[in-house]
Amino acid sequence: MEYIKEYERWLQRSDGATKKELLEMSEEEKELYFHGSLSFGTAGLRGVMRAGTNAMNVYTVAQATQGLAGLIISEGRQNDGVVISYDSRNNSELFARTSAEVLCGSGIKTYLFESLRPTPVLSFSVRYLKCAAGINITASHNPKQYNGYKAYWDDGAQLSPALADKVSAFIAKADIFDGVKKLALDKAKDAGLLITVGEDIDRVYLQNVKEQLIDAEAVKKAQDLNIIYSPLNGTGYRLVPEILRSIGIKNLYIVPEQAEPDGDFPSTPFPNPEFPQVFEAGIKIADRVGADLLIATDPDADRLGVTVRSKDGFVTLSGNRIGVILLEYIIDALKRTGRLAPHAYAVKSFVSTELAARIARANGVEMYDVFTGFKYIGEKINALEDKENGVEFILGFEESNGYLRGTYARDKDAVVAAMLICEAAAYYSGLGMTLYDVLLQIYEKYGHFLDAVDSVYMEGLDGLQRMADIMKALRADPPKELAGFEVTAYTDYAVPETTDMKTGEKTPLDTGKNNTLYYKLGGDVVVIRPSGTEPKIKFYYMVGGDTEEEAKEKLKKLKTLPAAITKA
């Protein structure tokens, strides 16, 4: 069996610590971690930290970096350089330094951050330093046993599918032991190939973030506003408090057990700011000091979570709800300060709430839908950049708690999102409203919308095949109804085309291809797609109704779909 041959090769070629881990592997683990390799895609690599070709370790990281080096050299851009950052996860610094050794070993100028940094700082740095590419070592909000490798191109966005395919081809040519070149970092520094960066870039980055503040006076007036913040033991621990204090937030309380970087994430097994449980420690502080707003950032500080006080207690807002509050506030603030551009636009992923599109249209703002993945929002910003003619980007967001305002970066940024949500809270507090009151006002103004996401995990060796089989079956026999609701049209983005279920007419789409099925149920939407970073199929629901009860009843029925379709 091929995986046994590869296991034996690793046993002979790897270092002592890895060899010890290999000797302790069960037969099942040998098959799991040596059956195939981690797939390099537009989101780079992600996996558990173990020995093996199908896991995150110094060998797979080095091989991936050799593949990226191959792309950079083929483009003749080795002198433009690559910037590398990393998060608070275990082994992140080790993987970052390994990546730097490989790049320098291929003669590529490398900028390495002297300590951990948020993902958006990396995106900004690629653009600021005019690098060919960037690398960020992070597994975002995954549990502690995971790590990942995100690769960026010169626009500051993650690699496009075409570039990711090229990197994959170069990876395939580089033997994991014999095909990787390395140069020790002390020698690389002496040779002028390695440059350490840090606070000099932070200062410029924070300046760009602060420029996204719209109504500074509103913050200055809100002296009684109390805010609870948790970095969830991640990279937001320094820059988020710094930006909030710089705009005038006086009463900022940091959750002590989640304040310092820690790759074991001792206070929560899932450091995901979407989950209500990560706010439990903060709520105790909020009750003590009378705070109405709690915010949290994930370990690499690109996602923002928000919990707000309502009349019935604290409520953790979904990514969509945060997005619509931000959009409503930004448009209103730009209008009242006379700064709304004549051709203002926003961008959202196509699985994010249609309420955002309704808000935009009602206020004369163009809303663009793009594929899931913030790189597509970045591509839209690149394509539309024309500030001289009044075309201005005001917000990009994904339902998975990712937000960006400003064009200094091309990835989601929890630092700027934290600043903006606090600005909004400050302004509305002056009107005697909490952010929950604002949300209810939005529903009264634009209609009752509910959005939810379910995920069905498919771990194990057959997980990917099971997901492929489910998507294949849905395409072979397109459902005429879902959970009792008639499908009026569906779009298969793998083709891509839309089919009218009543007439059978097929309309080709001028978009890229994506393994996603999008179903229209009259005015409601269901989207089914495999995750690009984890072994799971995701189900997105976007429903509306004349009343909240009507919307809730629709959502309840639709949430029976995952079990029915996956037989989970």
Judgement on whether residues 137 and 47 belong to the same structural domain of the protein: yes
Contact 396, 407 (CB under 8 A): no
What pLDDT does 502 receive? Answer: 92
Q: pLDDT, tens digit, for every residue of 528-556?
A: 999 876 789 999 999 988 888 999 999 99
Q: Are residues 458 and 553 in the same domain?
A: yes
What is the model's pTM?
0.91
One domain, residues 112 and 182: yes
Catalytic choice (37, 140, 230, 349): 140
DSSP state of 159: P
Please check whether residue 505 lies inside any domain of the structure: yes
Coil, helix or strand for 232?
Answer: coil
Provide the domain count of the chain.
Answer: 3
Q: Out of 16-20, 119-123, 351-355, 456-460, pick the least confident.
A: 456-460
| Same domain assignment for residues 366 and 494 | no
Segment 83-104 mean pLDDT: 98
Domain assignment present for residue 55? The answer is yes
Q: Which are the contacts of 146, defined by CB distance < 8 A and separation ≥ 6?
A: 46, 47, 48, 49, 56, 89, 139
Mean pLDDT of 124-137: 98
Q: Indicate if the pLDDT at residue 486 is higher than 60.
A: yes
Examine the domain organization and report whether 362 and 509 are in the same domain. no
CATH number for 142: 3.40.120.10
Cα separation of 498 and 525, whole Å? Answer: 14
The mean pLDDT value for 89-111 works out to 98
Q: Are residues 351 and 461 in the same domain?
A: no
Tell me: the pLDDT tens digits for 177-193? 999 999 999 999 999 99
Instruction: Please report, rounded to a whole number, the percentage of residues in the chain having pLDDT higher than 90.
Output: 89
DSSP 319-378: HHHHHHHHHHHHHHHHHHTT---TEEEEEEETTS-HHHHHHHHHTT-EEEEE-SSHHHHH
Is the model's pLDDT at 387 over the cut of 80?
A: no
Q: Give the model confidence (pLDDT) of 42-52 as tens digits.
A: 889 999 999 99
Is the same domain home to 486 and 405?
no
Which of these ranges, 229-243, 335-349, 380-394, has the smallest mean pLDDT? 380-394
Identify whether the C-beta of residue 152 lies closer than 8 Å to the C-beta of residue 125. no
CATH of the domain at 468: 3.30.310.50
Pick from 196, 217, 246: which residue ends a domain?
196
How would residue 173 be classed by pLDDT, with cut points 50, 70 and 90?
Answer: very high
Kindly state whether residue 481 falls inside one of the protein's structural domains: yes
Helix (H, G, I), strand (E, B) or coil at 82: strand
Same domain, 404 and 536: no
- What integer is the mean pLDDT of 449-466? 87
* Rounded average pLDDT over 439-461: 90
Residue 225 included in any domain: no
Same domain for 404 and 501, yes or no, is no
Active site residue 246: no
Q: Which two three-digit tokens encode residue 168?
A: 């994959």
pLDDT tens per residue, range 513-522: 889 999 999 8
Q: What is the pLDDT of residue 106?
A: 98
Please indicate, yes or no, if residue 439 is contained in any of the structural domains. no
Residue 239 belongs to some domain of the structure = no
Residue that has been written with the tokens 């060899």 in this structure: 19
pLDDT tens digits for range 286-326: 999 999 999 999 999 999 999 999 999 999 999 999 999 99
User: Does the pLDDT at position 214 exceed 90?
Assistant: yes
* Among candidate residues 173, 196, 219, the one where a domain is terminated: 196
Residue 64 tokens, joined: 């991936």
| Statement to judge: residues 464 and 394 lie in one domain | no
pLDDT of residue 568 exceeding 70: no
Select from 412, 441, 460 the last residue of a domain: 412
| Averaged pLDDT score across all residues of the chain | 95
Residue 471, number of CB atoms within 10 A of its CB: 19
Query: How many angstroms separate the Cα of 315 from the Cα of each of 307, 434, 454?
Result: 5, 12, 19
- CA end-to-end span of the chain: 31
- Say what the pLDDT of residue 476 is: 95
Judge whether 346 lies within some domain: yes
Domain extent, residue 327, equals 317-412
Residues 382 and 459 in one domain: no
- Judge whether 364 lies within some domain: yes
Residues 327 and 473 in one domain: no
- Residue 545: predicted pLDDT: 84
- DSSP H or E stretch at residue 199: helix 199-210
Q: Which of 131-140, 396-405, 454-463, 522-531 has the lowest mean pLDDT?
A: 454-463
